[in-house]
Amino acid sequence: MEQQFKTVITSKRKVFDLHIRETFRYRDLIFLFVKRDFTAMYKQTILGPAWAIVQPLLTTVVFTIIFGSLAKLTTADVAGNFEIPGFLFYMAGNICWAYFSGTLQATSNTFLANANTMGKVYYPRLVSPVATSISHLISFGIQLVMFFVIWLVYLLIGRTSIQVTPALLLIPLLVLQMIVLSTGFGIIISSITTKYRDLAMLVGFGLQLWHYACPVAYGLQLVPEKYLTLYMLNPVTPIITTFRYAVFGFGYFHLGYYLLSWAMSLVIFFIGLVLFSRIERNFMDTI
């Protein structure tokens, strides 16, 4: 009688054999990896998960003092007489960028960080970057709750131009896009670093430069009109400006640029999946 196997491990795969369904079957392992990563993130710290709140608060205070009070950079994304709370403005950009950069940097180290585990037992390799993005999503969720608590205080005080609009419904879509974009970039880098370790050294530096190319510390009005189209080709820019548009009820929202950003995110994610699938077959031989 011929045996029937549920899982067949082989190095011969199609180009688009991404093992999405198999990865979903390992959701219990994903949960264990999420728990491991989240615990390791705050292990042996005095404040523990409270750092998810303290860190963006301190960063926002620094941004408010340096870029707001001293440099006096504009916090306006569109022209108009709007009362924008500087603290909320900087926090909105910081929590979005923190999730994107944190997930990208952690995911870009997937193969190197999990080499020992991957070399001992089989599981869909896509489990690791998925778990990484979810574990960082927990921290982002905590920060988002903190943001809306402060946002509600400003709204109740009533001394700002903040409005509650249906644009708030865009937030889940923006979070999903950040997951797709950061994970896509991360797994592309992780696939390349198995052979070229130099790239791993450049990720942190590249993210610092990318940070200043995004409207986190300044409003979109600071960008000259003739460079705006080029500036909006940065897929992170429409995410941040649309997030501020959603939570403030006013600001810059261009459907064309936003859809282009989504298209770029999906293309990058798909390229990452294909590249990841090809590299994972023999990465143990090169790592």
- pLDDT tens, per residue, the chain with 287 residues: 455 655 555 555 555 566 677 777 888 888 888 888 878 777 767 667 777 888 889 999 999 999 988 988 999 999 888 888 899 999 999 999 999 999 999 888 877 777 677 767 777 778 888 888 888 898 899 999 999 999 999 999 878 889 999 999 999 999 999 999 999 999 888 888 877 776 777 888 899 999 999 999 999 999 999 999 999 999 999 999 999 999 999 999 999 999 999 999 999 999 988 888 777 666 655 55
Q: Which tens digits make up the pLDDT trace of 75-93?
A: 999 988 888 889 999 999 9
Coarse DSSP helix, strand, coil percentages of the chain, rounded to the nearest 5 percent: 70, 0, 30
**Average per-residue pLDDT in the chain?**
85
**What value does the CA radius of gyration of the chain take, rounded to a whole number of Å?**
21
Chain-centre distance of CA 131, in angstroms? 13
Sole residue written with tokens 């131009």? 161
pTM across the whole model: 0.88
Give the three-class secondary structure for 219. Answer: coil
Q: Which tens digits make up the pLDDT trace of 34-45?
A: 888 878 777 767
